């Protein structure tokens, strides 16, 4: 009986590790550089703004995960189209962000809701006019709720399952475009809303079922995403090594290494400037 239970546990553990080859968690901070609004539909209360923003149950402004997903997918699509053909780009995006059809992949990335930091945000109402496009006259006046520039949203941006470090690094192209002022978040972009700055605070790689000794010898993780033949980029493997220095796909970074009981594995923690250094090194190999 005891042997049977042990074998069953081994099979379950093996199944988990086959499903989770690499787990990634990326945390950061979004700071608004202009008014920004992510709308919650039309206001229904008498004293409510005509167009309120999304808030959580405590009344704090939030950036929904769905908004972040659409933001990163849409802007990465535009960037990739500058270099690759349409079919290859769409296949790659479907692998990373999930496809619309039933037979396509679910998303390898889960984007999380970011809430405004306490005492580091300001909500305001701004008045706008709607123009009658036929007559060119003012149609009506309406109030728009927004968070003002300087507001900060922080927390876990995303978690990913089996996404290669090079695949994750593609998101850095969107962050760079955003910080340069080329990509905006939310609505009313043509009215000057949505300029933001994205700062990456912490990146965690978890290697389930692995230990520090294996990491010293060097690990190659295969079968990662993206890996389909139609994708414009195949980035389906990763190399990890930590022998006093930490190397991820031949890019050296400063990182902390410790074993984690959550997934019976080893965790690599990278912070702030080292994240950008890693992503820039990986992108040089990709492009």
**CA-to-CA dists, residue 206 to 22, 30, 74, 170, 254, angstroms:** 6, 24, 28, 19, 16
Q: In the beta sheet, which residues pair with residue 238?
A: 221
Residue 14 lies in a domain: no
Half-sphere exposure of 184 (CA within 13 A, CB side): 16
Residue 251 lies in a domain: yes
Q: In the beta sheet, which residues pair with residue 125?
A: 145
Within the chain, residue ranges assigned H as helices are 2-19, 65-81, 86-97, 165-179, 212-217, 273-286
| Helix H or strand E segment including 36 | none
Q: What is the pTM of this model?
A: 0.86
Q: In the beta sheet, which residues pair with residue 145?
A: 125
The Cα–Cα gap between 133 and 135 comes to: 6
Q: Supply the range of the domain harboring residue 207.
A: 20-286
Half-sphere exposure of 171 (CA within 13 A, CB side): 26
Residue 7 lies in a domain: no
Residue 96 lies in a domain: yes
The Cα–Cα gap between 21 and 36 comes to: 38
| Helix H or strand E segment including 48 | none
Residue 15 lies in a domain: no
* Structural domain total, the chain: 1
Of residues 256, 279, 278, the one with CA closest to residue 267: 256
Residue 1 lies in a domain: no
The Cα–Cα gap between 225 and 104 comes to: 13
Residue 4 lies in a domain: no
Residue 187 lies in a domain: yes
- In a structure prediction context, what are the per-residue pLDDT tens digits for the chain, which is 287 residues long? 444 444 544 444 444 445 889 999 999 999 999 999 998 755 444 344 567 899 998 999 999 999 999 999 999 999 999 999 888 999 999 999 998 765 556 789 999 999 999 999 999 988 756 555 565 545 567 688 999 999 999 999 999 999 999 999 999 999 999 999 999 999 989 889 999 999 999 999 999 999 999 999 999 999 999 988 888 998 999 999 998 789 999 999 999 999 988 788 999 999 999 999 999 999 998 86
Q: Are strands 265-271 and 256-260 parallel, antiparallel or unpaired?
A: antiparallel
């Amino acid at each position: 009986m005891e042997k049977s239970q042990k074998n069953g546990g081994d099979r379950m553990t093996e199944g988990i590790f086959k499903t989770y080859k690499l787990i990634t968690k990326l945390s950061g901070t979004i700071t608004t550089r202009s008014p920004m609004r992510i709308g919650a539909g039309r206001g229904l209360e008498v004293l409510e703004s005509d167009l309120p923003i999304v808030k959580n149950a405590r009344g704090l402004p939030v950036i929904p995960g769905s908004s972040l997903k659409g933001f990163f997918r849409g802007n990465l699509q535009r960037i990739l189209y500058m270099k690759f053909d349409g079919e290859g780009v769409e296949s790659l995006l479907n692998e990373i962000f999930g496809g619309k059809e039933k037979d396509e992949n679910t998303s390898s990335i889960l984007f999380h809701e970011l809430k405004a930091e306490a005492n580091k945000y300001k909500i305001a109402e701004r008045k706008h006019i709607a123009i009658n496009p036929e007559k060119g006259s003012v149609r009506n006046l309406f109030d728009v709720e927004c968070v003002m520039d300087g507001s900060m949203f922080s927390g876990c941006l995303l978690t990913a399952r089996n996404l290669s470090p090079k695949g994750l690094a593609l998101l850095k192209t969107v962050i760079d475009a955003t910080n340069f002022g080329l990509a905006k978040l939310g609505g009313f972009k043509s009215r000057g809303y949505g300029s933001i700055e994205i700062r990456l605070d912490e990146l965690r790689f978890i290697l389930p079922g692995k230990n520090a000794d294996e990491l010293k010898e060097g690990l190659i993780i295969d079968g990662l995403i993206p890996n389909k033949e139609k994708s414009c980029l195949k980035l389906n493997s990763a190399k990890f090594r930590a022998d006093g220095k930490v190397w991820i796909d031949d890019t050296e970074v400063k990182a902390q290494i410790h074993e984690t009981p959550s997934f019976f594995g080893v965790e690599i923690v990278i912070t702030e400037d080292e994240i950008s250094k890693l992503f820039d090194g990986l992108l040089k190999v990709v492009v």
